[in-house]
Amino acid sequence: MSMDEPGGESRSADDEEALMKEWAAMAGGDTGDGGGGGGGGDSDAMAAEWEAMLGGGDEDGDDTPKDSTRVLNQDEIDSLLGFDDDHGRGDDKSGIQAILNSALVSYERLPMLEVVFDRLVRMMSTSMRNFTSDNVEVSLDNILSLRFGDYLNSIPLPAMLAVFKAEEWDNYGLLTVDSSLIYSIVDVLLGGRRGTAAMRIEGRPYTTIERNLVERMVHVVLSDLSAAFDPLSPVTFRFDRLETNPRFATISRPSNAAIVAKLRIDMEDRGGRLELLLPYATLEPVRELLLQMFMGEKFGRDSIWETHLAEELWLTEVQMEAVLDEQVMGLREVLNWKVGSKILLNAQPNSPIDLRCGDVSMFRGRMGRKGPHIAIRVDEKIKG
C-alpha cells in the first residue's frame, strides 16, 4: 500500500511508521547529540500530534514516554467515591461517601428507639393475627440511618407508600408495603387457599379493592405504633394518604436524615416486607426521651427503687422552728444591742404561732407547757 504525494513521490506505510516513531522519540527528548534545541517547542507540539495519530503505540511494544497526567479508570473512581462493591456492601463507607454520611446521626445513639420497635413487633404479631385470622409472624430485620432521598431511590417498585402524620409532633412519617405483602394480604383476606403463593400480575396498577385492604392493614400498624410509643410519649399517628409513586410521597428534603425499620411479615407460606421511615425532624420533640437508657419494662422507671425511696423519706428527720413573732429592724439598731437589751415582741400567750421547716410554714398552733417543756398544740395545717 502506498500514498501519492503532490511532488509525485510515493511513501510506503513502513516509511510512515518509521517517521512517526522518529517524531515520537524526539518528543521524549531523545535527541542523541543534544542538537536541535532551538526548535524544541514546535517539535514537541508536532510530536504530540503524531503520537495522537499513532494511538496504541504501547500495544506494539515501543516504550514511548507518556504525559505525567494519568486518567483514572472506573474501578479507581468508584473506590475514591466509596461506591465500589467491596465497601458498598459492608457497613463501613469509604471515600467521599463516608464524608457525606458523617453528618448522619446513627440510630444507635437513641437507645429507646430499639425498645419502641421491639414493642411494635410484639404488638403487631397479635394484632395482625386478629386482622387476618391466620398465623402471622412479625420480625424486625434491620434498623438503619440514611438520607431520605437515598431511601426513595431504593424502594423496589411496584409498592404502596402510606403517608401518616404524628399529630402531637406535627410532622410526617412513611410506611412502605412491598408488592409481595400486598398480594399476600389480599389473598388472605379474600379467602385464598393455603399452600399456594400469592399471584402477582405485572404491569397493571393496583385496584381499588387492593388499596382499601392495604389501607385497613396500615390503620392496624399505625395503631400499634401509637401504642408502642405510648409509655414513652403519648402520640397519635393518623393515616393521611396512600401513594404508589415515590415522588408523591415526599415528606422531607432528600438530604435530611431518617430512621428506617425493616419488618418482615410471614403468614406461613406467604408474606412480604414492611418498612417504617421516621425522619429525625419527626422524632425531634422526643429526642431527649429517646436518648435515655432503657431500665425495666416501664421505660426507665424502677418500682423497687421508688418504693424504697418513699419508705426512707417517711423516716427522714427534719427540724421544725416555732416562730413567735417577726420584726424588721435596721442594721444600726442591731449593732447597738448589748447584753441585757430587750426586744418587745408583738405576741401574747394565746397568740397563734407558726411552725416552719426551713422557710416553709407548715402548721399553726398555740403555745403551752407540758411538764418541764414548752409545747405547741397544732390547730391547723397551712396549705402552700
The answer to whether the CB of 270 falls within 8 A of the CB of 159 is no
Q: Could you report the per-residue pLDDT of 141-164, keeping only the tens digit for each?
A: 888 888 898 898 888 888 899 999
- Reported as a single tens digit per residue, the pLDDT across 290-342 is 877 654 445 556 678 888 888 888 888 888 888 888 888 889 988 988 898 88
Q: Residue 237: which pLDDT band, with cuts at 50, 70 and 90?
A: very high
Instruction: Output the pLDDT for position 106.
Output: 54
- Between 26 and 72, the more confident residue is 72
pLDDT reported for residue 145 = 87
Q: How far is Cα 263 from Cα 138, in angstroms, rounded to an integer?
A: 7
Backbone torsions φ then ψ of 241, nearest 5 degrees: -160, 165
Domains and CATH numbers, the chain: 2-60 (no CATH), 74-103 (no CATH), 107-291 (3.40.1550.10), 321-381 (2.30.330.10)
Residue 91: exposed, middle, or buried by beta-carbon count in 10 A (0-12, 13-18, 19+)? exposed
Q: Residue 221: what pLDDT?
A: 94
3-class DSSP state of 374? strand
Asked whether the beta carbons of 165 and 237 are under 8 A apart, the reply is yes
The answer, as to whether pTM is greater than 0.85, is no
d(CA 374, CA 364): 15
Strand partners, 145: 259
CA distance 25 to 61: 14
Of 368, 245, 286, residue with least CA distance to 110: 286
Alpha helices per DSSP H over 230-375: 280-283, 287-291, 303-314, 331-335
Residues 258 and 249: their CA atoms lie apart, in Å, by 14
